Amino acid sequence: MIAVVSLGGSIAVPDAPDTAFLENFVSMAGEWLSENSARKLILVVGGGGPARTYQRAYKTAAGESYDAIEADWLGIMATRLNAQLLRALFRGYCLQDVVYDPTKVTDFSGRVMVAAGWKPGFSTDNDAVLLAERFAAKTVLNISNIEKVYTADPRTNPDARPIDEISWKDFRAMVGDDWAPGKNTPFDPVASQRAESANITVFCIGKDIDNIKRALGGKNFTGTKIF
């Protein structure tokens, strides 16, 4: 059994690495793996605070010469540093280098695979979907700073309501189809298109460790199902 997790960079590295969360996450994942020797974990991490910091700096300094592809590469490099940290934390479980190109990985030699950003045009959510396809996983667990998907941004709209389940058609109508570096949506629009076409279900949940463990274990958890 392979579980695919898209771990938001804003959770793992909001500004600097969140060592308390990372320690608890690694401990929880180790317990989950130890419960069944057939379990494996694919972990794809985003760029978080470092990505936003470098992208903002580039946009300010570049002015009219700003290029979205260059901004995307800055974000990708941040994901790779974050992924290297996670690989080090999962040493002993992760026996291969950080995966950069999800379309070329052919083996899964350890219990944990750690992946980072690939190329401009989408976020690490899309890499998670590609790896789910490659290893025949039918679900992706998307961990972010929101516990559920809402009908609107609850920080600015008091009428926003949490959603328990939503179809890909309706979700994509909410988030659109286009990607821009640093775009903040519950799940990447490009990844959403691919997940829909591959018939992959995504569960969006928050950072609560106990809730994540329930989701990994197939138990009832708090979150939003996109299918």
Q: Which domains does the chain have, with CATH numbers?
A: 2-226 (3.40.1160.10)
pLDDT tens, per residue, the chain with 227 residues: 999 999 999 999 999 999 999 999 999 999 999 999 999 999 999 999 999 999 999 999 999 999 999 999 999 999 999 999 999 999 999 999 999 999 999 899 999 999 999 999 999 999 999 999 999 999 999 999 999 999 988 888 999 999 999 999 999 999 998 888 877 789 999 999 999 999 999 999 999 999 999 999 999 999 999 99
Residue 25 CB neighbour total at 10 angstroms: 24
Report helix, strand or coil for 113: strand
For 40, the token pair is: 């494996």
* Side chain identity at residue 62, one-letter code: A
Sign of the dihedral through C-alpha 33, 44, 5, 201: negative
Q: Which of 54, 227, 14 is nearest to 140 (CA)?
A: 227
* Distance separating alpha carbons of residues 28 and 41, to the nearest angstrom: 12
Global pTM reads 0.94
In degrees and rounded to multiples of 5, residue 63 shows phi and psi of: 60, -130
